[in-house]
């Protein structure tokens, strides 16, 4: 969906404080896009379709008599749109981050500019609300809970202990199951994300995180909103960062537990 409007007034707010008012606007463009993934059966018929990604971007073209150097790319605001002389729209879009702020033309003491935003969370989130994140925490036996990053999710795999034996002069093979031989291991991969102020803080956070989970068996608790589940008797095996970003990173932590 792509909506375009003009004339109205826009206030950039942080909490209850108006940081900047933009009036007049010459064009307001709100682009709300949903990317879906389709699942098909063996004959190519669509059997399911679900939302993979939902994004909202906003661009505001405006005229004013100065370039506001106090606005910085990556600052976050609530955008409050109001009508002027019955022109424009009335709506509030929360958690919008400046991605670009530029002068498009100038004449005398006036400039025309274009400022663009990327919205975090759902399009109808209220100001002050935070998008729901899935989180994972590790609770050690004997006490002590560690949050694994700002958000995280879990992938699991199972490794059994089934073996086959060739019997001479017999047809086929003899298979012994994990139930007969014992064993069985659940592998748990926690994939997380963390954002810090500097690269130094990021490195310190990860080293501290490793030291907090290295010494004890514990329980992983996976939570999304009001729902959660637990995986008990987990042992941490390894961890690693992804990439060399200055302030934020994806990371993975590997745990194992007995399959029984």
Band of residue 135 on the pLDDT scale cut at 50, 70, 90: very high
Question: Mind listing the pLDDT tens digit for each residue in 196-246?
Answer: 988 899 999 999 999 999 877 999 999 999 999 999 999 999 999 887 777
**241 and 186 within one domain:** yes
**175 and 100 within one domain:** no
**115 and 170 within one domain:** no
Spatial contact of 10 and 60, defined as CB atoms under 8 Å apart: yes
In a domain, 76, yes or no: yes
Domain containing 170 equals 134-258
Pick 107 or 6 by higher pLDDT.
107
**175 and 237 within one domain:** yes
The alpha carbon dihedral of 130, 78, 123, 193 has a sign of negative
Full-model pTM? 0.79
Per the structure, the count of domains in the chain is: 2
């Amino acid at each position: 969906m792509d909506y375009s409007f003009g004339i109205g007034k826009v206030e950039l707010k942080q909490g209850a404080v108006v940081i900047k008012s933009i009036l007049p606007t010459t064009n307001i463009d709100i682009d709300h896009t949903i990317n879906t993934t389709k699942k098909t059966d063996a004959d190519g018929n669509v059997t399911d379709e679900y939302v993979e990604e939902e994004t909202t971007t906003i661009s505001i073209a405006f005229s004013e008599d100065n370039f506001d150097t106090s606005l910085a790319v990556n600052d976050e605001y609530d955008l409050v749109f109001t009508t002027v002389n019955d022109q424009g729209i009335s709506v509030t879009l929360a958690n919008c981050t400046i991605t670009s702020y530029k002068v498009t033309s100038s004449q005398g003491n006036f400039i025309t500019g274009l400022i663009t935003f990327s919205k975090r969370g759902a399009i109808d989130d209220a100001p002050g609300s935070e998008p729901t994140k899935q989180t994972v925490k590790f609770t050690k036996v004997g006490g002590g809970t560690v949050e694994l990053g700002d958000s995280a999710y879990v992938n699991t795999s199972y490794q059994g202990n089934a073996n086959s034996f060739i019997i001479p002069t017999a047809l086929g093979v003899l298979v012994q199951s994990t139930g007969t031989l014992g064993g069985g291991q659940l592998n748990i991969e926690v994939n997380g994300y963390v954002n810090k102020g500097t690269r130094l803080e990021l490195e310190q956070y990860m080293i501290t995180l490793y030291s907090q989970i290295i010494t004890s068996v514990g329980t992983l608790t996976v939570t999304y909103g009001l729902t959660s589940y637990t995986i008990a008797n987990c042992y941490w095996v390894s961890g690693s960062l992804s990439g060399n970003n200055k302030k934020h990173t994806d990371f993975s932590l590997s745990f194992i537990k007995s399959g029984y």
